[in-house]
Amino acid sequence: MTQEAFASFASVAVQTQRSYEAGRREPGASYLVSIAAAGADVSYILTGVRTGVPQAQPLTREEECLLDNYRHSDETGRAAMRATGAAFAQSELVKKSGRKVG
């Protein structure tokens, strides 16, 4: 969204919007309420932490290696990795549920 469009729905001047974004001014409560009503995540804007969204865990070294192997494989290799991963995941679900397949 452009600064002009954002300022318009937040009922502030474009220069005010630019000042907020540049850190030269801090918005007041009415501005924050207005943008929250339009769907902005005010918590994220103020703190950098998203609300209601689980934070992603960083990849382990092992996960990074698996991803790197996947990305450097041809389509046949990637298909085999997906099928193998799905088979092992299903196997774990069966173990946890106690149900037998077939």
Handedness of CA 44, 41, 53, 22 (dihedral sign): negative
36 & 69 share domain: no
> Domain range spanning residue 28?
3-47
Is 66 within a domain?
yes
37 & 66 share domain: no
Is 52 within a domain?
no
pLDDT exceeds cutoff 50 at 102 = no
Is 55 within a domain?
no
**Alpha-carbon distance 85 to 67, whole Å?**
12
pLDDT exceeds cutoff 80 at 97 = no
pLDDT band at 74 (very low <50, low <70, confident <90, very high): very high
10 & 43 share domain: yes
38 & 72 share domain: no
The domain total for the chain is 2
Considering only residues 50 and 19, tell me which one the structure prediction assigns the higher pLDDT: 19
68 & 92 share domain: yes
User: What would the DSSP string read from start to end of the chain?
Assistant: --HHHHHHHHTS-HHHHHHHHHTSS---HHHHHHHHHTT--HHHHHHS--SSSPPPPPPPHHHHHHHHHHHTS-HHHHHHHHHHHHHHHHHHHHHHHTPPP-
Is 73 within a domain?
yes
